[in-house]
Structures are given as C-alpha cells and as structure tokens.
Structure 1
Amino acid sequence: IVLDAERRGLIEPGGLIVEGTAGNTGIGLAMVASAFGMRTVIVIPETQSEEKKQALRLMGAELVEVPAVPYRNPNNYVRLSGRLAEQLARTEPNGALWANQFDNVANRQAHFDTTAPEIFRQTDGKVDGFICAVGSGGTLAGVGLWLKDMKPAAKIGLADPHGAALYSWYTEGELKSEGSSITEGIGQGRITANLEGAPVDFACRISDEEALRVVFDLAEHEGMVLGGSSGINIAGAMAMAREMGPGHTIVTILCDYGNRYASKLYNPKFLRSKNLPVPGWMARESTIAPPFEAV
C-alpha cells in the first residue's frame, strides 16, 4: 500500500499515513512508516485490546480512539479516518495518505503478487485449498484469484466468525449477520473493493468456542501462542478438510500473535464474563514454594 502510494506520488518521506484499523494493519503500517521516515495516525475502536494499542504507541503511531459503531454510521472508525486524512492533507507539506486497507486494491494486489506465489512454491504446486477469514478481503481475494489462475481446481474458502455477514452472502446471496464474536479485526458486513470478485467455493461459520479450542490446544501442545483470527482460520481449514476428504493439501494463514490479546483471549476472568471455556492449564495456580533462606 505504501510503496504503491509512493510510486503514484501520493506521499513522500516525512509524510503522514492515516488509517482506520482494529490494530494489526496499523502495527504493520507504523513499522513501515518508521522505516520510510514517515509518521502514522491510527484511528482505532476504543474496544480493541490494550496490548495492540500499546504496540502501536511503541512504534511511534499517534492513536485516535473512537467509539465502536457500525460502518453505516458516519463516525465509524474507517469512515472517520478517511475524513481525517483529507483534513490533514491540507496542512501536511509531504502529503497525508489514507491507506484505506478495505477498498484500496493495492492491498489485494500485494497478496496476488507475493503471498499466493509463495504458497504455491512452498507446497510445490500441490495446494488443493486455501481458506481464511476476511477483514479487508485482500488476503482471500488476492490469494484466491492467483491460485485459480494457476490451478483452477483449487478450492477457495471463507471462514467467517459469528456476527459477520459474509457466510450468508456466499451461501444465500444476502448480507445477513447472526450472533457475535470476541475476535478483533475480522468479520465483515459489506463487500469491500478488495473482496469484489473473490472466487469463493466454500464458506463456513466458526464459533468462538471452536476457534478458542484450536488456539488453546496449540498453546498447550505446540508452544504456539496465537490470536483469535488464527483460530478462526485453522478451524476453517479443518472444516474444509472434512468437506474435501483425505489426501488434500489445505493452506491457511496464522496472522496474529496471542500476546496482543493477553488481557482477553488469555484472561480467565474475561473468558468467564463471555461464558467461554477456560482451559485447565490457564486457570491452574502454581503450588511451588520458593526455597527462601532466612537472612
């Protein structure tokens, strides 16, 4: 997104990147901005985890926290970030870029140019299915379009959390949401420009319980501490595997670190407040008595 904007003369070193994000894209933008001698202003829903907010601040981003309201509200964090970028562009001598991850198709193109070919190389071309959740839609559409060009028989799947509307769109042709989810940054209620034309063959809805079961199992048995989006993706890959049957290679993306959700996904008190299961290893208290000596 940033390289594309530089090539088009929309921003230069010393300029400002503005984005509305639930956190992880903002962290990436802040890292790139620092490397390119730019600054970042991140408009973020105030409900997002404190760990992500702290990471953004540590990377030099300036945060504008706003109430979490639906996209149809003009003060939704994404729509507000666009107006803020326009406002700041009038005074920034080196340009102010609205990254616009949801509808800037440079996002999708990056996955078409890099992520998908990497998947194809790493599987020696034997990838039979790809599935992931949707935030902006860039990963799903970019990877899906490239894989369909290279291997038309490959299946492209959507893993949708409860509270999102895309599962019903791809199965019934209607944008309709049911339930809610504690996951952050994924689950879309509209067809973004990045998502338009995504070749989705398979869609499944994943509950928080299913996603957390995967996340906690990987933490306990594999030492992989992941976030909720990764849990949705892996549970989705498992659903696709059951649908396709044995002997197929299915790829997904592990896209978030669990340490960004320590106060939520890995917090027994938070989980209980949402009526979600708490694994035994997480609730276990230490019984070790340190051998202090009298001094």
Structure 2
Amino acid sequence: MNYAENILQTIGNTPLVKLNTITRDIDALVLAKVETFNPGNSVKDRMAVKMVEDAEADGRLKPGGTIIEGTSGNTGMGLALAAIVKGYKLICVISDKQSQEKIDILRAVGAEVVVCPTNVEPDDPRSYYSVSKRLSTEIPNSWYVNQYDNLSNTLAHYEQTGPEIWEQTEGKVDHFVVGVGTGGTISGVGKFLKEKNPNVKIWGIDTYGSVFKKYHETGEFDENEIYPYITEGIGEDILPENVDFKIIDGFTKVTDKDAAIYTRKLAREEGVFCGNSAGAAVKGLLQLKEHFKPGEVVVVLFHDSGTRYVGKMFNDDWMRDRGFLEQDIKTASDLVAHAEKDLITVRTEELVAHAIERMKQYDISQLPVVDTEGFAGSLDESTLFKAYIDNKDLAHLAVREIMQSPFPIVKKGTSLDEVSRMINRENKAVLVDLEDGSYRIITKHDIISAI
C-alpha cells in the first residue's frame, strides 16, 4: 500500500504548470511552481517543518514545548501542522492587515492567535515582531521561531524547492521569479540554481512600502520608503538575514492595485486560484519581460491559495472600496452604480443636531436638504463649522436657518469631466437624477476614488 505516515510527509513535489493566457505577451515558456498543493496550501509548509526539525535536533525545542512565531498566516499554518503531528502548542502573532480567513484557519488547526497593529515601527512594543519576542521570554519551555533570521528557512528551499525545480525543468530553467518576504525562498532556490548554472537569473518581486529594491540597488536602507501597504506576504520594513542580496539579480516593485487585479486575473484566465503574492508575481513577471528571450524557461513561484483571500481580493465590494476594480467610468451614472440605494437627506424643519447625527451615522460630509416640494438646500461640514463659530447653540437651530443653496442636479448621462468641473469651493457635491424617481450624490471623494 502507498500512503504517508502523517500529513508532513505530503509536503513538497508540487507541480509545474504552464501559463498560457496571462503571459501571452512573453516569448519565453513560463511555468508556475504552484505551492498550493502542499497540505497547508502554501510554500511555507516546507520551511516551517525544517525549522521545527532543526530546533528539535539542537535542543532549542523540547518535548511539550510551545512554538511562538510572528507570521502573516502561512508560516503559522505550516507550524500548526508540525505542532499537531509532533505534540507542541503553537502561538501565532499576526498583524491586523492579514485576511480574516488566515486568522480563522490558524484557529481552526488549534493555534492561539494574537493580533497586533500593522502601522507601527518594528521595534514598537506593539509590533508583531516585538510581541513574539516578548512572549518567548515570558512563557516557560517556549521557542521563538523567527522565520526572518532563522537560516533553516533558506536551507529548506536549498534542499527541497530548488532541486525540484531543477529536476522538473531537466536543468533548462533560465529565470526564477518569486515574491520576497522573509527571503528564504528566493535565497534557497537561487543558491541551488546558481550552483547548478551560474547563468540562471534570480528576480525578486517587491511592493511599494518595502525597502528591498532600493537597498539591493544602492545599499541604502531608506526609512522614507517604509509606509503601510495592502499586499500580503511580500516586502518588509526590515532586512531579514534570510535575504541574500548577492544571489538576487534584480527586483521589480508591484503596486497594491496591480497585485490585487492580477490575483483575480490569474484565477479567471488560467484557472489557478492563488493568493495575493501570486498576483504580484505575475504582474512583476510582465514588468520583467524584456529580460526573457524566446526559447528560455521562466519559473515563477506561487506562494499560497486564493482561499486565504476570499474576503479581500476576490470580494468585489472590498476591491471597489479601494478603487481596485477595473471599471470604465465615463458618466455620472457609472460613478454611482454601486452607491447606497437610498439618498440620505435632512428636512428643512429638522434640527441641526439631527443633521449632525445623520452625518455621523452614515459617515458622510454633506447632506441634501428637502422639503415637501423637493430639494430646498444643502449642508456640508464647512457650513456647519462656520455656523458653529458664530453660534455655539447651533445644534438647536432648524436646518433651514443655516442651509446653503441646493446641490446642482445632473442627468445620469452627464460626463465625468463635466461633473468634476461643477464641484468646487462653493459647491461641495452634485446630485444625479437616475430618471426613475431616485437620486444619488457625487462628492470630491467619489471623483478621486474613480481616478
């Protein structure tokens, strides 16, 4: 009978899959190393088990111990599988930008999850780096994995992933493309491939808000490059020891929007349901296409499964809220197509306090004012602020006493350019007549979001 002794023995030997549609503008043969076939659905299974086994071998991890790690979710899943099979407790410290699916999956496999804020410095005591380290000093018989500086991470890919790619391509691989986070995958695979053939090019995919690309090109760690970003699994605001910059031939940066769009394209055009970093890798691959020649073989690694991102990149509302959906917006009707069903208004005889409460409730900055005959005026934050300076009892006045002129009304076919010109210092919004008895509102925020 052919079976694995436990789930850990199913890690590795993931397939290479040819990409056909999304890479049609690239002359080379593009093959995806699809790591979602690992039992934890990500490439991180490989290094998670390697780090655990190496820690067991040298005594850092003792029987009945607690494994502690800061993770974006995928390493945590790999560690969870190892902890289950080997009998350890696991605490995963994760940043709040990670998808809810990742947090739920970690809890489903028995991990304790601690969520930390994303937008803090690495050495801030609230960061997931700092919290992980602190817990490892407070909890007896615990081991802090530290995937960023734990070189077993790189070694796993040098021993496993690199040899698999070499064997699967029969040594014909010319380029390896992969997103860079902890650096273990690019450094381990890159080291192995370059030892086999020094002419193999190793390309890293970075994101805006990360320091890797500029540091590789200039040797400068530029803190001005560090700012929050949405893309998960790649980029860093630190320099992990696992990133061997000497092995990497070059980086390209991919925007959050492009990473999200190409994550969806990959699923819809190739049937490959992978995560956010795979979208970034595909877009980066296209940005690097000038380096690929006809007849060459390019291997791009897809880190994890799209199931981790169903509530994010694969959710239209989430994409639309961030301006990531590719939409051809030309008219007022296009702009309000996904607006709330009912226009929020206030009546002339209501108190200003009611208008303020409505603005708070719906998180809006302006309100059309109506009476029995239709639109009678308008209110916005600047109007309220100026009125408050003159009268501290503003909240008890009737809306009609401080309202401005009504917002102009346009037909639904009015061009976006014309609508934009109508919004100015005196006129904070435009109403769109949908010609079915209902209206919608367009503000500066809506125009900017459509850019």
TM tier, smaller: 0.7 to 0.9
* 2:262 corresponding residue in structure 1: 214
The CA RMSD over aligned residues, in Å, is 2.1
> Which residue of the other structure, out of 109, 133, 136, is the alignment partner of 1:59?
109
> Which residue of the other structure, out of 177, 180, 192, is the alignment partner of 1:134?
180
* 1:166 corresponding residue in structure 2: 212
1:116 aligns with 2:162: yes
SS in structure 1 of the partner of residue 320 of structure 2: helix
* 1:156 corresponding residue in structure 2: 202
For residue 58 of structure 2, what is the amino acid of its counterpart?
R
Query: What is the CA–CA distance in structure 2 between the aligned matches of 1:110 and 1:63, rounded to whole Å?
Result: 25
Moved more, 186-195 or 70-79: 70-79
Structure 2 counterparts to residues 181-260 of structure 1, below 5 A: 181-260=229-308
Deviation for aligned residue 1:187 = 0.8
Deviation for aligned residue 1:218 = 2.1
SS in structure 1 of the partner of residue 67 of structure 2: strand
Cα pair 1:131 1:251 within 8 Å, conserved:
yes
TM-score, normalised with respect to structure 2: 0.58
* 1:77 corresponding residue in structure 2: 128
Structure 2 counterparts to residues 24-35 of structure 1, below 5 A: 24-35=74-85
Deviation for aligned residue 1:213 = 3.4
For residue 220 of structure 2, what is the amino acid of its counterpart?
E
Deviation for aligned residue 1:171 = 2.3
Larger radius of gyration: 2
Q: CA 1:28/1:278 → structure 2, altered by over 3 Å: closer, same or farther?
A: farther
Deviation for aligned residue 1:247 = 2.0
**Bigger relative contact order, structure 1 or 2, given CA contacts below 8 A and separation 6+?**
1
Deviation for aligned residue 1:133 = 1.4
Q: CA 1:4/1:178 → structure 2, altered by over 3 Å: closer, same or farther?
A: closer
Deviation for aligned residue 1:243 = 1.9
How many equivalent residue pairs? 277
Deviation for aligned residue 1:278 = 4.9
| Structure 1 portions without partners, runs of 5+ | 284-295
Deviation for aligned residue 1:174 = 2.1
Greater fraction of residues in strand: 2
Deviation for aligned residue 1:148 = 1.3
Cα pair 2:226 2:237 within 8 Å, conserved:
no
Q: CA 1:179/1:38 → structure 2, altered by over 3 Å: closer, same or farther?
A: closer
* 1:271 corresponding residue in structure 2: 319
Determine what percentage of the aligned residue pairs are the same residue.
Answer: 38
Moved more, 40-49 or 209-218: 209-218
* 1:96 corresponding residue in structure 2: 142
Query: What is the CA–CA distance in structure 2 between the aligned matches of 1:203 and 1:257, rounded to whole Å?
Result: 24
| Structure 2 portions without partners, runs of 5+ | 1-50, 329-336, 338-451
Q: CA 1:249/1:241 → structure 2, altered by over 3 Å: closer, same or farther?
A: farther
* 1:106 corresponding residue in structure 2: 152
Deviation for aligned residue 1:118 = 0.8
Q: CA 1:70/1:147 → structure 2, altered by over 3 Å: closer, same or farther?
A: same
Deviation for aligned residue 1:179 = 6.7
For residue 164 of structure 2, what is the amino acid of its counterpart?
E
TM-score, normalised with respect to structure 1: 0.87
Residue-by-residue CA offset, 1:181-208 (whole Å, 9 max, x unaligned): 3212321122211114541112111123
Query: What is the CA–CA distance in structure 1 between the aligned matches of 2:281 and 2:196, rounded to whole Å?
Result: 23
Moved more, 20-29 or 171-180: 171-180
Structure 2 counterparts to residues 31-42 of structure 1, below 5 A: 31-42=81-92
Moved more, 54-63 or 153-162: 153-162
* 1:147 corresponding residue in structure 2: 193
Q: CA 1:63/1:180 → structure 2, altered by over 3 Å: closer, same or farther?
A: closer
For residue 114 of structure 2, what is the amino acid of its counterpart?
V
Deviation for aligned residue 1:237 = 2.6
